[in-house]
């Protein structure tokens, strides 16, 4: 870590260099603290530019310090010291000014940002509130509405928007240091603006605050920090500066020590660690410049969309003209949906479509770098695809299967150069879901494996390496979760109570509602396949429902009944009759124990997975459940939650 001071006439340039992201650890806080003193004491200096080396402006407090007692100088004091400095400081922002980084920028008299930069207060995503005046200075700088949006969502804004909101004073292009020094010189010719802490703030009426509270409660789904942040903002808008600062600090320190913050920090580091696996640090991945997808159903089209979103030109192969047409409709629907939701402009959606070549001729794949098979879950069908790929693709093309249940070793049998074969298990909708399970076979080369991880980075996905077993990591735990939930039903626990308990825990849906939405027949067919292959698969309650035609919402009923046009689950007398004799008359497990029993079962399966070497570490299992299966992020995943 270095903080250096240069001089350009009457403007000093303080450069912070603390790789990788200039996080504000104790020594950096001290060094900036000292720089204020040095420059205040220098009569030749009239203004100071604060700029950062490396990829970004200060990206926030050093999160690794959060488990330890705070050590001075404390960040709020440093921000005050910058604001009270005898010379005006100008924050010169590139990359991201986040959390404590943006709070430091608000301590400066001015903020100048490169056009590609962004600013934000993402603390709520770490289960805390801003702790160095983010909730108190932001409303004084940009108004209460902008502050509430910035702080309670944690979403950063790009420089142009930051300028329009008043969060920064100027957006520049070119050489940031040159531009910031020029800005500082010009600023010296005019009266200085008031320090932010001294600016007035107008609070909206109580009804507005109530509305915000309602909306945030709905959005936060059990997460505490967004509501506490709103509370801090309200105090900031209604109380004097010092009182609001004290309230913010107390809230920050309380939340910093909370279980939710610990869980979210766990996720923060697990997510970042996942993209850089230590065991592949020495392996250079292949460069992927083109890709193809075999199969344009829901999964194939989603994978194709994900590849296009990452800018890769792709070829989509289907078996005949009709299937190509259906695949085209599937892709169009994905991009049309993105336009409707405001994620893409019409022109961007069209460019996405234009980058897809469709057909049924494998010969088109002769020069493709990566091919992902996403056809029907049937070994013979998949093998036929890889027989074609083995003949047509380059010997060094990476060939991947998206299978969720079939042993990839069986799929790869007979494939020439099996070192380039790998499982890439996407989750539906593949262009939205962040998880990518990467499943190497014993013959997969380290280079192919590293390319799987590199692809995940290219697609902005979270990669988790999984060994080969029934269902890999995610579906294997899902199976155990469902089996345990059924066991509770057999003991007499009402289906609706189990779902309500898991919603209460933080899932968007309980296990039975989720099956009704996805269809009970998928897992049923898989069990039937295993039975046909001679495996001993005991009958499940779900089997009884499917055999009675109850496959879920699509058949008007599954674990619940559904009224026409209404997706809200209704407890079903028909289900009660079908399951009679298999369900105990007792009242089952008390409501407040249900979630604990089910999460403990998930974790038990996770431990078995670890012992067998199917997952590389417990945090990988947490990533799978959070990013692929709706486990509440603020609980940190089943392994963390039951540690």
Instruction: Write out the catalytic residue numbers.
Output: 103, 123
Rounded (5°) CA angle 526-527-531: 120
**Residue number with CB closer to ligand 3H9 (3 or 21):** 21
Between 62 and 484, CB nearer to ligand 3H9: 62
Sole binder of ligand 3H9 in the list 126, 181, 232, 305 (CB under 6 A): 126
Integer Cα distance of 506 and 495 in angstroms: 17
Beta-carbon contacts of residue 348 (< 8 Å; ≥ 6 apart):
none
Is 272 or 490 the residue whose CB approaches ligand 3H9 more closely? 272
Binders of ligand 3H9: how many residues, by CB under 6 A?
28
Q: For ligand 3H9, which is the closer residue by CB, 285 or 588?
A: 285
Q: Does 135 bind ligand 3H9 (CB under 6 A)?
A: no
- For 540, which DSSP code? P
* Residues 37-66 interacting with ligand 3H9 (rule: CB under 6 A): 55-56, 59-64
By CB under 6 A, name the one of 96, 330, 465, 572 that touches ligand 3H9.
96
100 binds ligand 3H9 (CB under 6 A): yes
Task: Quote the CA–CA distance of 135 and 582 in Å, as a whole number.
Answer: 56
- Which of the stretches 125-133, 171-179, 328-336, 591-599 binds ligand 3H9 when contact is defined by CB under 6 A? 125-133
Query: Which residues is 570 bridged to in the sheet?
Result: 561
Q: Find the binder of ligand 3H9 among 88, 131, 418, 463 (CB under 6 A).
A: 131
Q: In terms of CB distance, is 149 or 377 closer to ligand 3H9? A: 149
Which 141-200 positions form the footprint of ligand 3H9 (CB under 6 A)? none
CB under 6 A: which stretch of 131-139, 144-152, 319-327, 363-371 binds ligand 3H9?
131-139
Closest by alpha carbon to 255, among 221, 226, 215, 233?
Answer: 226
- Please give the DSSP secondary-structure letter assigned to residue 580: T
What single string gives the DSSP state of each residue in 485-498?
HHHHHHTT--HHHH
Residue 68's φ and ψ, nearest 5 degrees, are -110, 165
CB 590 to ligand 3H9: min, Å:
39
Q: Which is nearer to ligand 3H9, 25 or 337 (CB)?
A: 25
DSSP letters along 599-634, please? HHHHHHHHHHHHHTTSBSSHHHHHHHHHHHH---GG
Six-digit token pair at 583?
Answer: 């369900």
Residue nearer to ligand 3H9 on the CB measure, 45 or 117: 117
> Rounded to the nearest whole angstrom, what is the least distance from the CB of residue 263 to ligand 3H9 in the complex?
15
Residue 130 within binding range of ligand 3H9, rule CB under 6 A = yes
Report the distance separating Cα 275 and Cα 461, nearest Å.
9
Stretch that binds ligand 3H9, among 96-104, 385-393, 553-561, 634-642 (CB under 6 A): 96-104
The only residue of 132, 150, 546, 618 in contact with ligand 3H9, by rule CB under 6 A? 132
Of 224 and 603, CB closest to ligand 3H9: 224
**Is 20 an interacting residue with respect to ligand 3H9 (CB under 6 A)?**
yes
Question: Which of these ranges, 126-134, 231-239, 372-380, 576-584, lies near ligand 3H9 under the rule CB under 6 A?
Answer: 126-134
* Spatial contact of 100 and 24, defined as CB atoms under 8 Å apart: yes
**Minimum CB–partner distance for residue 159 and ligand 3H9 (Å):** 14
- Give the one residue of 75, 114, 245, 304 binding ligand 3H9; rule: CB under 6 A: 75
Could you identify the residue written with the tokens 């800018």? Answer: 311
Compute how many other C-beta atoms are within 10 angstroms of the C-beta atom of residue 431: 23
Task: For residue 97, state whether it binds ligand 3H9 (rule: CB under 6 A).
Answer: no
Query: What CA–CA distance (Å, rounded) separates 405 from 415?
Result: 19
Q: Minimum Å distance from CB 480 to ligand 3H9?
A: 31
**Residues numbered 247-276 forming contacts with ligand 3H9, rule: CB under 6 A:** 269, 272-273, 276
Rounded Cα distance between 358 and 375, Å, is 15
The sheet with strand 47-52 has its strands ordered as: 2-8, 11-17, 47-52, 89-93, 110-114, 170-172
Element (H, E) at 7: strand 2-8
What does the H/E/C string look like for 360-410?
Answer: CCHHHHHHCCEEEECCCCCHHHHHHHHHHHHHHCCCCCEEEECCCCCCHHH
Is 279 an interacting residue with respect to ligand 3H9 (CB under 6 A)?
no
For position 277 contacting ligand 3H9 by CB under 6 A, the verdict is no
DSSP letters for 231-257: HHHHHHHHS-HHHHHHHHHHHHHHHHT
Is residue 399 within the footprint of ligand 3H9 (CB under 6 A)? no
CA distances from 304 to 311, 448, 492, 581 (A): 11, 20, 45, 47
| Using rule CB under 6 A, residue 309 touches ligand 3H9 | no
When the beta carbons of 39 and 129 are compared against ligand 3H9, the nearer one is: 129
Among 12, 94, 109, 123, binds ligand 3H9 (CB under 6 A): 123
Interface with ligand 3H9 by CB under 6 A: which residues?
20-21, 23, 55-56, 59-64, 75, 96, 98-100, 103, 122-123, 126, 130-132, 134, 269, 272-273, 276
């Amino acid at each position: 870590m270095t903080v250096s001071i240069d001089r350009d006439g009457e403007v000093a340039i303080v450069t912070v260099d603390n790789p990788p992201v200039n996080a504000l650890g104790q020594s950096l806080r001290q060094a900036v603290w000292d720089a204020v003193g040095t420059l205040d004491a220098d009569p030749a200096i009239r203004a100071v530019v604060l700029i950062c080396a490396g990829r970004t402006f200060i990206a926030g407090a050093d999160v690794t310090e959060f488990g330890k007692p705070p050590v001075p100088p404390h960040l709020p004091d440093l921000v005050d010291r910058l604001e009270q400095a005898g010379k005006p400081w100008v924050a010169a922002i590139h990359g991201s000014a986040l959390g404590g980084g943006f709070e430091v920028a608000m301590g400066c008299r001015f903020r100048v940002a490169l056009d590609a930069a962004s600013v934000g207060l993402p603390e709520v995503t770490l289960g805390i509130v801003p702790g160095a005046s983010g909730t108190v200075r932001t409303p004084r700088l940009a108004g209460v509405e902008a502050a509430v949006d910035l702080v309670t969502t944690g979403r950063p804004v790009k420089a142009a928007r930051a300028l329009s909101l008043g969060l920064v004073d100027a957006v520049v292009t070119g050489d940031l240091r040159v531009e910031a020094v020029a800005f500082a010189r010009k600023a010296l010719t005019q009266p200085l603006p008031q320090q932010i802490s001294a600016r007035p703030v107008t609070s909206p009426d109580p009804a507005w605050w109530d509305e915000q509270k309602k909306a945030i409660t709905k959005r936060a789904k059990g997460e505490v920090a967004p509501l506490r942040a709103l509370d801090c903002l309200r105090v900031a808008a209604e109380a004097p500066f010092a009182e609001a600062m004290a309230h913010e600090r107390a809230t920050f320190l309380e939340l910093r020590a909370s279980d939710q913050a610990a869980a979210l920090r766990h996720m923060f580091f697990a997510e970042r660690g996942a993209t850089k696996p230590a065991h592949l640090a020495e392996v250079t991945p292949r460069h992927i410049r083109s890709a193809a997808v075999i199969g344009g159903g829901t999964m194939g089209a989603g994978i194709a969309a994900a590849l296009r979103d990452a800018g890769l030109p792709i070829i989509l192969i289907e078996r005949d003209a009709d299937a190509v047409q259906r695949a085209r409709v599937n892709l169009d629907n994905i991009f049309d949906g993105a336009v409707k939701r405001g994620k893409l402009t019409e022109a961007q959606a069209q460019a996405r479509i234009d980058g897809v070549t469709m057909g049924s001729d494998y010969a088109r794949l002769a020069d493709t770098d990566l091919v992902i098979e996403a056809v029907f879950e049937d070994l013979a069908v998949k093998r036929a695809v890889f027989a074609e790929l083995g003949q047509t693709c380059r010997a060094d093309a990476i060939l991947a299967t998206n299978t969720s249940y079939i042993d990839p070793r069986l799929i790869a049998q007979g494939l020439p150069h099996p070192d380039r074969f790998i499982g890439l298990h996407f989750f539906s909708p593949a262009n939205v879901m962040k998880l990518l399970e990467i499943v190497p076979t014993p013959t997969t080369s380290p280079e192919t494996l590293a390319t799987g991880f590199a692809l995940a980075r290219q697609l902005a996905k979270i990669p988790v390496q999984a060994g080969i077993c029934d269902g890999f990591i995610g579906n294997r735990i899902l199976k155990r979760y469902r089996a345990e939930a059924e066991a509770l039903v057999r003991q007499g626990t009402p289906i609706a109570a189990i779902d309500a308990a898991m919603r209460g825990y933080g899932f968007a849906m309980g296990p039975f509602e989720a099956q009704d939405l996805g269809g009970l027949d998928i897992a049923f067919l898989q069990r039937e396949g295993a039975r046909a292959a001679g495996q001993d698969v005991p009958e499940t309650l779900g089997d009884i429902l499917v055999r009675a035609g109850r496959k879920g919402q699509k058949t008007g009923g599954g674990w619940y009944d559904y009224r026409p046009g209404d997706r809200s689950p209704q407890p079903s007398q028909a289900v009660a009759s079908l399951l009679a004799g298999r369900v105990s008359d007792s009242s089952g497990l008390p409501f407040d124990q249900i979630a604990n029993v089910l999460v403990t079962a998930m974790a038990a399966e996770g431990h078995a997975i670890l012992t067998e070497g199917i997952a590389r570490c417990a945090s990988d299992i947490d990533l799978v459940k959070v990013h692929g299966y709706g486990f509440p992020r603020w609980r940190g995943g089943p392994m963390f939650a039951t540690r």
